[in-house]
Structures are given as structure tokens and as C-alpha cells.
Amino acid sequence: MNGRLLLIAGAIAGIMSCKQQDQVVVKERSPRQEFPGLFEQVQHARIFADSKTLADCAPKTSPADVLQAYAKEKTAPGFDLSKFVHAHFYVPAAATSGYVTDSTQDVTAHIESLWNVLTRMPDTINARGSLIALPEAYVVPGGRFREVYYWDSYFTMLGLKESGRTDLIESMIKNFAYLIRTYGFIPNGNRTYYLTRSQPPYFSLMVQLLVEAKETHKQEILTHYLDVLEKEYQFWMKKPAQGKTDGHLVVLKDSAILNRYWDRGDWPREESWREDIATAEKSPRHTAVYRELRTGAESGWDYSCRWFEDGKSLETIHITDIIPVDLNCLLYNLEMTLADAYSMKGNTVKSLQYESAASVRRDAILRYCWDAKSGFFRDYDFRKDKMTPVLHLGGMYPFFFGIAREGQADSMTTVLTKEFLYPGGLVSTPVETGEQWDAPNGWAPLQWMAISGLLTYHKDSLAGEIAGRWSKQNIRVFRQTGKLLEKYNVKDTTLAGGGGEYPNQDGFGWTNGVLLKILRMQQQGLLKNGKNIDTL
């Protein structure tokens, strides 16, 4: 190679090296950390109706330059904070802004067209703003949710599989693998203000879904993601120094170890800043409630009376005292997936270790979370050494994962029909509190976990009934509004879902995914009572 070619080769190598270095830059500072003082002032001034808007804004120049300008201008006569913010920040649009529904489409065609609307291409590397760049394409939920969300994505993937979009399923899994390899866990979403917590651990189910979509590549897929599955497990199972309850781990009186949700932060959520401060002002725990609120966000059930001390008020939230049955079922599945992956890799010792861990966890779930008196699975309050009083659909997860015994399945079916089933589907809890994860609301992910769990135990008639009611309600609202929503009122089907700290959002990733899955199963006769009701 001559000198000129060597220089060119060297230049190309240098460019590639810089590009690779750029791609591994790890963002860690949140907007509150980047803009101390200014962030709080803008939130308290209510420049934006939604606290999350400010957290998602990207500065037009460096944070240091913005802060310097703010320090210089804020004391000037006639200073306008709103004008300052709009001059120095890019304000994000809603994820589905500009999209107009084609009312001539049936709902299946609508969902198929929405995949492109909700898909984001690989992010460009940008050191500014809270968005964590992802290397592959991904699907966002919609509305105010402009980024990928962890547990939402599994239910979105159910629909992507039905649409034959294995490419998107795989690219989203690659993104989650990137996040685990970079941060050691999957954050709530790809924003820096989510880096103190995760969400319900569905990654093993995503990998299993990819195996189903590709059909003949199980060993290749499981072993490829083995290191990532292992790292996520270690995140949830990180042991405290003294072997005591700490972080996500709870050590029980009989030395059994189960898991809880736990956020590392103890300050207001940046995306719900004003709301959290208002809750703290009413709470007997004062600012200590911030960790509880953040931890409630990690659960995905933000918020529900299942976490409330008094069963009705957000300010009494005490989720860090609670062992959630659904979380531990998800970790059981992760342990079983790891056992399967190690077996395929030929590591019998590690496979047996994880199989044993799963067996121990299953027994502990049955021991601590099965309530024979009510005939349903419940959460366990380890501080009070008793089960929590609220029935909720998280109790259906032992159905989905095959943990429940046959006799338990019979009584649970009775309770589900009596306490949860309404004209539009299943309520999340039978209690009305004004919170979005309580009655009268129903949510797509919980409908699916219940329907699929019922099919596992051959409760086909009830599974079909729930699927029929839920899909009918989804389609009814779509016919009226042209939208598929984040949540639905299943008790009074003439009303929209509501409650909580923000308006009902449209888009909507997991609703689209679950509805498309149900409609295809109805068409294939896999839901016995289901009918193709897209003509309603």
C-alpha cells in the first residue's frame, strides 16, 4: 500500500474510531441536574401544562450557556420566563401529532398504519436533552409518551408479531440489550430522568416472543441474549452487604427471598414534579413519600389502591413494604428462561441452579401470596406480615406462568367473574379511587395476562368472553373517536377512561398490540366465545 493509501486508510480508521466512541457515550445527568434552579422555577411557574414537557425539552445550546443566560437575564426588568424557555429550548411535540385517522379503514388496517406513525428511527447522538439515543428502530406508545417504555413494549410486540414485523421486534430487543449492557438494567424509558428505576421485567418474555416469531432459531436467540438476561437478573437480585432487606430484595422470616419494586431516588419525579410535591404536602410521610411515588412508577401501576395504606389515598402509598405477586412471577419466568438458555449452551450446572431458584421462588409465591380465604393471589406486606387487602389483576400472573394449582385456578375463575368482569372487560381493581389503575378502568396488558392465563388452564369460555368484551369496547370507541386509547372505562362503556395525573392518551402502543392479537385469535377460532366484531 502506498503512502497516499495509508493516509486515507488511517483517516477512515480515525473517523470510524470517533464514531464508535460517540456511540458509547453514556448519558447520566437528568434535566434537574443539568439545569439546577432553572428547572424548578419553570416547573413551579407552570410554563407547561404537563410537567413532562419540560423534562423532554432539549436545550438549543449547552446547559452551561443556558444557565449563564438565565443568571444574566432573570433580574432584568420585564423578564419573561416563558419567553426565555421557548427561546433557549426545543419544545417536543406529541408522538402522534399531525396524524389524522382514515375513518374508512377498519381497525386492523388502522393499527397496521399506526406502526409506522409510532416507529422512531435510530436516534442521532446528541449530548443535549434527556433522550437516551438508541441504536435501532423502536415503537413508542403515543401521546405524551415520546420514548420507548419497557413493559409497554412487550404488549406492542404481540401486535407486531401478528403484523409480521419481526424486524421491529428484533430491533427493539436489541435496543433493550444495549440499555442493559450500557446501564446494567432497562430503565423505565430511554430518558435520563428514568435512570433510577426499571419497570416490570418483561425482557425474557420478549426474547421468548422473538423465538416464536422466528420458529427455528431458539438456541441461537437464547444463547445470544444470555449475557443480557443474566445482567438483568443480577440487577433485580443484587444482594445487600449484610444479607438484609435492601433495594429490590426482601428477606422474609423463614429466610425466603422475594422481590419488591424500589427506586433509587428520593426526590420528586422530574416528569411529574408538581404532582409529586402536591402529594408530599398532603402525605403524613412528607418528603419520604417521594421514593414511594417513584417506586410506584417502577411497578407500572402508577397509581392504584393496591399500594395505599388506607386503601383509597395516594398520599398513603407504601409500595416499598409490599412484595408484588406479579413481579415475582415475572422473575420466576426470567429464572426459567436462564435455566433453558444455559441448558442449550451445555452448562448443566448453571441450568440446574436457575431451575432450582425458580422452584424455590414458585413455592414462596404459593406460600406468601395465595389467599385461600378469598380464593385469589394477593400481594404480601412483609412489614405487617400479612397479605394486602386489595384484590387486583396482578393476581392473575400465576395463571399466565402456570404457577397456580388446578384447585386454585377454579376459585380464581369464580373471583375473576364476580369481582372484575364488566361489560367492557376487566377492571384492574374493584375499587374506585380516582386513580387510573383502579376501577372503572381496564388496561390492555392486564386483559392479555388474564386471557392468556385462562387459556393456559383451559378456562376457554371465560377467556373468550373477556376478549370479546374488551375488543368490542376498543372498537366502539374507535368508531366514535377514530382513536385507540391508553385505557378504557369498562364499567360504563359510554364513558372514556380517566383518572390519575394526566389525560387519557391516544396512540396507543400496547392497546394496538393486544387488540390485534385478540382479533387474530378470534378469526382463527382460538378464542371460543370470540367473534370477529370489526363490523360493529
The residues that bridge with 333 in the sheet, in sequence order, are none
Q: Are 361 and 258 a contacting pair, CB within 8 Å?
A: yes
The single residue of 34, 170, 275, 486 carrying the catalytic annotation is 486
Establish whether 50 is a catalytic residue.
no
Q: Which of 302, 309, 335, 501 is catalytic?
A: 302
Active site residue 406: no
**Greatest distance between any 2 Cα atoms in the chain:** 84
User: Hunting for cell 370470540 — which residue is that?
Assistant: 530
Q: Are strands 138-139 and 119-120 parallel, antiparallel or unpaired?
A: antiparallel
Residue 305 Rama label (left phi>0; alpha psi -120 to 50; beta): alpha
What single-letter amino acid sits at 390?
V
| Ranges of H-type helices in 416-492 | 444-456, 460-481
Instruction: Please state, in angstroms and as integers, the Cα–Cα distance from residue 9 to each residue in 2, 20, 21, following that order.
Output: 11, 16, 18
Segment (H or E) for 93: none
Exposure b/e, 502-512, CB count within 10 A at least 16 = b? bebbbbbbbbb
Residue 110 C-beta-side C-alpha neighbours within 13 Å: 27
Burial call 5-14: b when 16+ CB within 10 Å, e when fewer: eeeeeeeeee
Contacts of 324 (CB under 8 A, 6+ apart): 260, 261, 299, 379, 394
What spatial distance separates the first Cα and last Cα of the chain, rounded to whole Å? 71
Query: C-alpha angle with apex 502: 324 to 434, nearest 5 degrees?
Result: 60
The dihedral through the CA atoms of 475, 479, 482, 488 has a sign that is: negative
Q: Name the phi and psi angles at 341, rounded to 5.
A: -65, -45
HSE of 459, CA atoms in CB hemisphere, 13 A:
27
Cα separation, 533 vs 1, whole angstroms: 69
DSSP letter assigned to residue 387: E
> Do residues 463 and 343 touch, judged by C-beta distance below 8 A?
no
Task: Just list the catalytic residues.
Answer: 302, 486
